[in-house]
Structure 1
Amino acid sequence: MKKFSLLLISLLLFGMLLVACGGGDDETPAEEDTTTEDSTVAEDSGDEEMAEEDSEEAMAEEELPYGLTPGKPYDGTEINFLICCPTTAQFVAWSERAEMFTEMTGITVNFANEPWGSFQERIVTESIAGTGAYDAVVWLDVWGPAFIQTLEPLEPYIERDGIDYADDYPPSFMQAAVLDGTQYGFPVRTHAFVLHYREDVFEELGLEPPTTWNEMIEVGRTIQENTDLAGHANYYGVGTAQNLFIWALQLWGNGGDIFDEDFRPIFNNAAGVEATELYASMAEIGPEAQFSIGEGDARLSVTTGESAMIIGWWWFAPTFNDPEAAAEEVVGNVGHAPVPAVEGSEPVSFALSIPVGISSFSQNKDAAWEWVKFLSHPQSDLEVVTDKSRPEVNTVVVSHSSNLVNPEVNEVNGGLHESAAPGLANSRIMPLIPEWAEVASILEVAINDIALGADVQETLDEAASDVEGVMERAGYYE
């Protein structure tokens, strides 16, 4: 437990009126009449109570949507749901739908909202304390291995209730929910990379969305030669390891990887060097500030009309079409396409997953399971992503494979998910190991140095040596 606590700490580097009617003065106030009236009222009341009981029994036998257990067996239970970012559109939708969930189950959900900046710290703190302060929780995929012991295995619940939609997810989304062969959650907030590009600029220059990375560089050059825009909003900056995202796409697409099966670093082999050279070469089509910025500023570069393309998460799309956030020439002019591929290979997308699960310290695990089922059900997924009634709940996040290709989903989201689907079929996530934060901090510095002109092979070799040291200290090679 001490080792577990230290491991967790290391990750800190995330709601009758009775109306009496009296007779007129001309009526005789006979006692019998009063008795008869009272008896009638009592009979009516009894009939109503019996009707209510019959109705409740009927509801108990009626099959509820979202896989929920009928009969309200947990009526009156309150559960605490640890979650971040209360203004995120998807989470706003969840909080509003919680009222519907309560009506069906009798379970009240209290949202324990935590800012993203301190969310990981809150999870770690609660996990070490083991107080049972929350019953359900979401977590970022790469955090899972560090507090796996604080999550409740879901297989007994899944088998009991006959849940069968685990296969209705892209494999990369499910990776974060199944750790060491045990399922601890279902993906509920997921993201995939797509190519966002300025349709008006492409139309004016007679360009087609690039299908390979080399084509992307050529398209970027054409854009820079004929407009005042940067070709692609690169982000090589150091700070949150975001500069590894596109590098990893090119590494995987080129047949390389970060580790071999024994967790020896191999990103400095021939495939890794070639992919890294490709990534560094994209600097010629990037904005001036690319060497010091992260993902957020790169997205802003497209939003403000500075850059014509960006490889990034699908949740960028609503921002590009928001008149209050984007430049006038950008709104309504950003299209989406699959992530480019390495020449001769299939496109590989980067995926991110936030599962929902049950705290092993919870005193209300069965009630929390009802909430997990409700959030993760394909129908919930569909209803949330197609609700465009107002900006507060307008999200493009969808987790189930069946919804990715759903015509309704794509109609109201501009075909965004059809663009993401090819890459997701062959998508990857970062290694799910407790040491990833330390490994990523080494790699992001190396990538930044290379983008600024450092020798590729030499820099990757030094990084590999440092990463091997981290893994050796962690006991991977014993």
Structure 2
Amino acid sequence: MKSTGRTAALPTALALALAFAMTGALLAGCAPSTSGGGPQKDEKSGTLRVWLFREVGNEPKERVVDRVMRKFEKRHEGVRVDVQYIPVDSRAEKIKGAFNDPSSAPDVIEYGNTDTAGYVENGGLADVTEEFADWPQARQVDPTAKKSVTVGGKVYGAPFFVGVRALYYRTDVFGDLGIEPPRTLGQVASAARKIRAERPGMYGLAVGGAYTYGAMPFIWAHGGELARKKQDGTFTSAVDSPRAKRGISAYTDLFGDGNCPAVKCAEMGGNENVEAFAAGKAGMVLAGDFNRQAMEDGKVKGDYDVVPLPGTERGSIAPAFAGGNNIGVLKSSSHRTLAVALMRELAGKETQRELFDAMGFLPTFTDTREEAAKKEPFVEPFVETLDAGTEFVPATPGWAEVDAGLVLPTMFQQIAGKKSGVDEAAGEAARKMDEAFAE
């Protein structure tokens, strides 16, 4: 499959959602006035306030949302919907203010899926477990997407869109060097080293010590976990388990002169990895469906393809992190019934189909996603990856502290720079994670 045809737009909110777990730490410790319980009234008319993320090139999203709102207002007499697109740079403070001042808060909100546990801890999101269960469309929601709105067995929203990473590779370089698309992680490493040996000016596989979401699949593919949930509902770190350490070793072994020199690559994050590939400086990269526009705008246009990142066994697919955004109802809403109905409309199949066409957002419904793959062949490897089973970060407010504290990047960088061995670095990371989970 050559990368030709319609180009899906870059869903910036997704990339931001993955990074925004860090902002959850800013909200921790804030005891919102909504935490004591929601309002007693459930008004059936008036104005519903909605906050959504503003994208780069937001007009297509606005057109889809406007159509949803017009239909909603037509079906609900006496109801007006006011949509505000919030700037990402002031997002943390804006959400914090809404949680503390219900009078200024929206009824419905878009939020990053790594933020769920922190927002629930802060008392901002309404429990919509019963309404979600009664929603017929919910039966086709991807299990991992549902997990991203679930905390303590309760549901706090509806998945809005999902995004995963797969393996981009240079078809021209692979052809010139006689390399077949890799079928195992071992073959990925072998191909990377051959490319580096034959093309010394290129990275074989672009990797980054600060690329947490690119490293996680290596841990999961080897049977490791980031953390385990205990019977009391709390989490304990598992990055120092034997299987997790095998995955960590497989990833950090890719740092060095034989693939991606640590002096440069240890500091690189996901954006730098994508930029290196798009600029023609790497033979492979682990990147998202949401990175396609960067490739199309780069030097590699027409000379790349995508396959799922393989697992350790031939024919297997490495579990990927399921990123994305959700739509939730604030506990402070005085229009709960209407807000839940609007949440369903915004996160429903029809809207997700339109957003895929307009923005390239991957649907969270398995059947709708299959339709998208037939319509746009480029997304097939990402759909395969999702269907093979994805993973998520621990659903606990402590994850925000782990992420903001750069616990995992520090571990990878210490190993890549040969400042610590795998056992020592993983043990230190596990200790810091447990401290964050205990708070």
* TM > 0.5 fold call: yes
- Give the distance between the partners of 1:415 and 1:127, measured in 2 at CA: 40
SS in 1 for 2:168: strand
Q: Which residue of 2 is the match for residue 236 of structure 1?
A: 209
- Give the distance between the partners of 1:11 and 1:194, measured in 2 at CA: 36
Q: Supply the AA of the counterpart residue of 1:404.
A: R
Q: For the Cα contact (< 8 Å) 2:149–2:156, is it kept in 1?
A: yes
Q: Which residue of 2 is the match for residue 306 of structure 1?
A: 281
Taking structure 2 as the reference length, the TM-score comes to 0.80
Q: For the Cα contact (< 8 Å) 2:64–2:354, is it kept in 1?
A: no
Q: CA deviation at 1:457?
A: 0.9
Q: CA deviation at 1:213?
A: 1.5
Q: Which residue of 1 is the match for residue 376 of structure 2?
A: 413
- Give the distance between the partners of 1:319 and 1:7, measured in 2 at CA: 30
- Give the distance between the partners of 1:396 and 1:145, measured in 2 at CA: 23
Q: For the Cα contact (< 8 Å) 1:138–1:357, is it kept in 2?
A: yes
- Give the distance between the partners of 1:468 and 1:181, measured in 2 at CA: 22
Q: For the Cα contact (< 8 Å) 2:47–2:80, is it kept in 1?
A: yes
Q: Does 1:433 align with 2:387?
A: no
- Give the distance between the partners of 1:229 and 1:11, measured in 2 at CA: 46
- Give the distance between the partners of 1:244 and 1:86, measured in 2 at CA: 23
Q: CA deviation at 1:88?
A: 5.3
Q: Which residue of 2 is the match for residue 462 of structure 1?
A: 428
Q: Which residue of 1 is the match for residue 325 of structure 2?
A: 354
- Give the distance between the partners of 2:106 and 2:162, measured in 1 at CA: 22
Q: Which residue of 2 is the match for residue 33 of structure 1?
A: none
Q: Residues 367, 216 of structure 1: CA spacing in aligned structure 2 closer, same or farther, 3 A cutoff?
A: same
Larger RCO of the pair (alpha carbons < 8 Å, separation 6+): 2
Q: Among the aligned pairs, what percent are the same residue?
A: 18
Q: Residues 93, 464 of structure 1: CA spacing in aligned structure 2 closer, same or farther, 3 A cutoff?
A: same
SS in 2 for 1:264: strand
Q: CA deviation at 1:335?
A: 1.5
Q: Residues 188, 471 of structure 1: CA spacing in aligned structure 2 closer, same or farther, 3 A cutoff?
A: closer
Q: CA deviation at 1:79?
A: 2.0
Number of positions where the alignment pairs a residue of Structure 1 with one of Structure 2: 387
SS in 2 for 1:282: coil
Match of 2:341 among 370, 373, 384: 370
Q: For the Cα contact (< 8 Å) 1:185–1:356, is it kept in 2?
A: yes
Q: For the Cα contact (< 8 Å) 1:101–1:374, is it kept in 2?
A: no
1:277-334 Cα shifts (integer Å, max 9, x gaps): 111111242377322222112111122221222112211123312xxx322xx12333
Q: Supply the AA of the counterpart residue of 1:400.
A: F
1:242-261 aligned within 5 A: 243-261=211-229
Q: CA deviation at 1:403?
A: 2.2
- Give the distance between the partners of 1:8 and 1:289, measured in 2 at CA: 31
Q: Which residue of 2 is the match for residue 97 of structure 1?
A: 67
- Give the distance between the partners of 1:471 and 1:184, measured in 2 at CA: 21
Q: Supply the AA of the counterpart residue of 1:341.
A: G
Q: Residues 281, 178 of structure 1: CA spacing in aligned structure 2 closer, same or farther, 3 A cutoff?
A: same
Q: CA deviation at 1:102?
A: 5.0
Q: Supply the AA of the counterpart residue of 2:360.
A: T
Greater displacement, 444-453 / 84-93? 84-93
Match of 2:50 among 81, 103, 116: 81
- Give the distance between the partners of 2:304 and 2:349, measured in 1 at CA: 28
Q: For the Cα contact (< 8 Å) 2:65–2:346, is it kept in 1?
A: no
Q: CA deviation at 1:93?
A: 4.6
- Give the distance between the partners of 1:96 and 1:470, measured in 2 at CA: 41
- Give the distance between the partners of 1:93 and 1:219, measured in 2 at CA: 44
Q: Which residue of 1 is the match for residue 159 of structure 2?
A: 187
- Give the distance between the partners of 1:7 and 1:308, measured in 2 at CA: 36
Taking structure 1 as the reference length, the TM-score comes to 0.74
Q: Supply the AA of the counterpart residue of 2:28.
A: S
Task: Give ranges in structure 1 of 5+ residues lacking alignment.
Answer: 1-5, 13-72, 238-242, 388-392
1:74-130 Cα shifts (integer Å, max 9, x gaps): 67x432211222435573453343454356436543332222233233222211223
Q: Greater CA radius of gyration, 1 or 2?
A: 1
Structure 1 moving runs of 4+ over 6 Å: none
1:402-452 Cα shifts (integer Å, max 9, x gaps): 12222xx22443332344324443210111111112223222212211111
Q: For the Cα contact (< 8 Å) 1:224–1:231, is it kept in 2?
A: yes
Match of 1:270 among 230, 239, 242: 242
Q: Which residue of 2 is the match for residue 335 of structure 1?
A: 305
SS in 1 for 2:109: strand
The alignment's C-alpha RMSD in Å is 2.7
- Give the distance between the partners of 1:331 and 1:11, measured in 2 at CA: 47
Q: For the Cα contact (< 8 Å) 1:188–1:376, is it kept in 2?
A: yes
